Amino acid sequence: MKEPFVNLDTLIQQTSLLSDMELQAYLANLSDSQKTEFVGENVVGAVDSVKQQKSSKFNDLFDQMIGADNNVTSAAYYIARTRDLTDFAKDVDDVMVKQLNSADINAGLASRQNEINEWANFNKLDTLYIMQILFVSLSFVGILAYLLSTGSIGHPLFAFLSYSIAAVSVLMLIIRWRYTNVARDGRYWHKARFPAQKGKVTIAPICPTA
């Protein structure tokens, strides 16, 4: 049959108890003079043992205090370093935000300047087209004046054709001026402004597909 394991704590307690009982029995057998001599011999050892234990405990506590102080110093250094890194990251973030805002503003300005340039260029092209119409009209009038001077056409025909050409040119100028100043959008050249529709705007339903 296998024996159970012995509990070391219980064994140590029993051994210490037996040792104390043996010491008490030994002291009980001593006389008063022997007891005094025994105490005198063991006091110095006990005091030295207590001093040694206190010194060892003091050294251990002093080492622990130095270690704790070093840990506090390291923690303070890490906290200061973390605060510096946090401030640096915040400064970098502020700089990036400013750069992004500047980039957005510059992009908006560049886009708006492109729209202005496009509107101005097409306005110049439209003006050039009107000037070409006027040049062609004056060229026809000049040809008619030459034919009138040579007697190829009469005054009634010359007046009719000249007034017709002038009326067409003036009508084109009026249409162009009215469309640019009334209907054309002030920002986008190829966009027109329409009057707002009265009433509710309804959206046609979407037919389901088969």
pLDDT digits (tens, 9 = 90+) for 29-60: 666 666 666 666 666 666 777 778 878 887 88
Residue 8 has pLDDT above 50, yes or no: yes
Report which of residues 157 and 3 the model is more confident about: 157
Give the residue from 110, 131, 109, 120 showing the smallest Cα distance to 189.
120
Handedness of CA 177, 179, 182, 186 (dihedral sign): negative
Give the residue from 177, 173, 164 showing the smallest Cα distance to 133.
173
Residue 201 has pLDDT above 60, yes or no: no
Residue 106, pLDDT score: 78
Alpha carbon separation from 20 to 7, 23, 25, 26, 30 (Å, rounded) = 20, 5, 9, 10, 16
Q: Record the pTM.
A: 0.43
| CB 122, CB 189: distance < 8 Å | yes
Averaged pLDDT score across all residues of the chain = 77
Task: Please give the average per-residue pLDDT across 155-160, as a whole number.
Answer: 86
Residue 85 has pLDDT above 70, yes or no: yes
Residue 1 has pLDDT above 50, yes or no: no
How many percent of the chain have pLDDT more than 90?
Answer: 0
Residue 195, pLDDT score: 73
pLDDT digits (tens, 9 = 90+) for 58-71: 788 888 888 888 88
Residue 2, pLDDT score: 47
Residue 35, pLDDT score: 60
| CB 130, CB 170: distance < 8 Å | no
Residue 33, pLDDT score: 66
Give the residue from 141, 136, 133 showing the smallest Cα distance to 162.
141
Lowest mean pLDDT among 27-31, 78-82, 139-143: 27-31
